[in-house]
Structure formats: structure tokens, C-alpha cells
Amino acid sequence: MYRTKDGEELFIIDGHIAAWDASKENRLNDYGLQFIDCFYDYHQISPEDYIWPRDKFYKYDANTLVNDVILNGYADMAIFQPVYLNEFYKNGFANFDVSDELLKKYPDRFIFNITTDPRLEERGLEEMEAMAKKYNPKGLKLYTADWYKDSKGYKLSDPWSKRYLEKCKELGIKNIHIHKGPTVRPLNRDAFDVADVDDAASFFPELNFIVEHVGLPRLEDFCWIAKQDKNIYGGLSVAIAFIHQRPRYFAEIISELLYWLGEDRITFGSDYAIWDPKWIIEKFVDFEIPADILKETGVTFDMNVKRKILADNIAKLYDIDIDAKREKLKHCNLTSKAVTTPLRV
């Protein structure tokens, strides 16, 4: 939990974290190395004291995750957003074993969103239903730029995608998190385009579509789409990391989001372990939008707005009673339950 300079305790939900294994032993080909090295390139915009050695970045253990996200990173809760990338990694990029371990040890701290790929067709529907029975999730992560055989991406407007979203309604999975952000080598730029979100959000008004990374670098397209579809939310991961090296750029991003979406449809995510949440949260809480930008957009960015972004908005999506959870977590002492199992697949 983060305590402000005025002594206020802020409840924080990190809506976008990952446990991954991109080690040499898990890579199928050079594409796996290209992918994780592109992540490492993005990692370099961190403050110098928070830059990891490359080998640690490739594969970090569960103790590191708990320490960075919860103990040192201020998050009271965090949500895993897994990705397959089975064409690049032998056992996939996401580490389901570690997620399971942390969910069992800290059920009040972590939420696990399942993932799928509509190109798996009927088999994928069966697998998604099996995962839903196991995890009882309220969220699904979709990665439209993932490769599958000869396909280098899919759209939410595809017929099979719509069948999967219909299945989400049936299973009670109401929060659809979609990666729509900067290109990650060697994936295709066009597969991250935000245009298909408009079709899906209009077709499925009962579902919430959280666009992770707010569509960057297509922020303007995203904002125009999200303005008309009220079930679209902006996930700040990636965008928020520019708060250190490019503070004015981040000010422009957050002010545009507040202008178009409003303060109730923006969610916080650190995108750990690309970035350490500790420095991101510290800088975000203290951040002020420059006066000239505020004058132009007319938005408000006070502590009440920051509180909504850091927890309240995503808590509503996931039916989390923050006051009740805050009280319950007072009795959860993470330091007495060291996690020693290394991240593995």
C-alpha cells in the first residue's frame, strides 16, 4: 500500500503483470530471442537504478515477482495477463505453473486472467471452457498479433473471434483485455491496430474491452473509438512508463485520455516485468500535468482522479470491494510466507 506525503494510504491494483520464461532453454527459435530483446529495449527507459541485467530479465523467479510487485511495488493486488507465443517458446511465454502457485499462496493478492486464441476454433473453445472452470475468471487476455502456423495475427471482428466473445458471455467472463500497443519484434504492426475494437465493442455491449497500452502509437484512433463506445477502457501500461524520460509526452497522453474517456475509464498497469512498478507509482502519484495542457483540455488530474486510476476503476470491473479487501489484507503478512519455487514451465 502506498502512503502519500500527506499520510493518505492509497489502495493500488496493478492491472497488468506477467510471469514469463524467455530463457534460452525455453526458446524454440530466434524469434523468441527477438521478442524478449525488444522487451528489454523498452525496459531501458527505466530509471538507471531499476534496469535489470539481461539474464535476469529473460527469466526471473517468483520471489522477485512478489518482492517487486507487492512488497516493494506498493500493489495491494495484481492481475496476471498471460500470453501464449507458442510459435516462439517451447512451453509458451506465460508461466502458468507460477501463476497457480501464487494464486494458491496469496488468493487475496492475485487475480489470474485466462487467455486463448480464436484460431484454435472448436478446440480452443473447449480449452477456454476448461480454464474457466479451473480459475473462475472475470477476465480474458487476447493477443491479436500472436502467430499461429502461417497466420501472423487475427481481428476481433473475425467470425471465430465473435464466437469466442459469445462464449465469454456464457461463461461470465466480462472483461476482455486486448493488447493494442507498440509493435514488438518480430510481430506485425498491423495486427496491433485498434480498429477491430470498435466492431467488437459495438457488437458486445455486455462486455468491457480494456485496451492495454491505449493503442499507442494510435492514441488518436483509440480515443475516437472509445468516446463512442462506453464499454471501452484504456489500460495505461506502456504509456505510463514514459512518465520518467518523457514526462510531457505522458502528460499529453493522460490529458487526452481524460478529455475523451473521462476519469472513470482509465486503469493502471505497470506491465511488470518490463518495468518495475515502484518507480512508476511514485512518479504517477506526484505527477502534475503542465498548466498549458490543462488550459487546453480543461481536465482535472487531482488525487481523486489518481485514486480512481490506481484502483477504483478496475475494482468496479472486477467486483472488488476495496474497503473489505483492505481490511482483509491487513492480516496477510507476505514477509512470513517466502516464495522459493523458481519460475518455470
Alpha-carbon distance of 309 to 318, in angstroms, equals: 14
Mean pLDDT for the stretch of residues 52-73: 94
At 122 the pLDDT is 97
Apex 41 CA angle, 64 and 192, nearest 5: 100
**What pLDDT does 335 receive?**
53
- Mean pLDDT over 145-151 rounds to 97
Average pLDDT score over residue span 275-292: 97
Residue range 172-228, pLDDT digits in tens: 999 999 999 999 999 999 999 999 999 999 999 999 999 999 999 999 999 999 999
Q: Please tell me the pTM assigned to this model.
A: 0.94
**What pLDDT sits at residue 212?**
98
Kindly report, residue by residue over 213-269, the tens digit of the pLDDT.
Answer: 999 999 999 999 999 999 999 999 999 999 999 999 999 999 999 999 999 999 999
Task: Name which of 177, 164, 124 is nearest 18 in CA terms.
Answer: 177
Query: What is the structure's pLDDT at 306?
Result: 98
In the chain, % of residues over pLDDT 70: 96
Q: Which CATH superfamily is domain 11-333 in?
A: Metal-dependent hydrolases (3.20.20.140)
**CA–CA gap between residue 19 and residue 9 (Å, rounded):** 27
Return the percentage of the chain with pLDDT > 90, whole number: 90
104 grid coordinates? 494458491
pLDDT at 343 over 70: no
- List pLDDT tens digits, range 42-59: 999 999 999 999 999 999
pLDDT at residue 273 tops 50: yes
Residue 322 C-alpha cell reads as: 476495496
Interatomic CA distance for residues 79 and 18, integer angstroms: 8
Q: Where are the domains of the chain?
A: 11-333
pLDDT surpasses 60 at 167: yes
Which grid coordinates are listed for 174?
466480462
Edge-first strand order for the sheet with 110-112 is 13-17, 77-80, 110-112
Name the phi and psi angles at 39, rounded to 5.
-55, -45
- DSSP notation for 84-124: --TTTBTT-SB-HHHHHHHHHH-TTTEEE-EE--GGGHHHH
Three-class SS of residue 80? Answer: strand
Q: Is the pLDDT of residue 341 over 70?
A: no
pLDDT of residue 6: 81
Nearest to 272 by CA among 9, 74, 4, 3: 74
pLDDT band at 339 (very low <50, low <70, confident <90, very high): very low
Task: Please indicate whether residue 139 or residue 345 has the higher confidence score (pLDDT).
Answer: 139
Instruction: Check whether 345 has a pLDDT greater than 70.
Output: no
Give the three cell numbers for residue 312.
Answer: 477504483
- Segment 99-117 shows an average pLDDT of 94
End-to-end CA distance of the chain: 30
Q: What are phi and psi of 308, to 5 degrees?
A: -60, -45
R_g over Cα of the chain: 19
How confident is the model at residue 337, as a pLDDT?
A: 44
Distance (Å, whole) CA 122 – CA 303:
47
pLDDT at 65 over 50: yes
- pLDDT mean over 315-320: 98
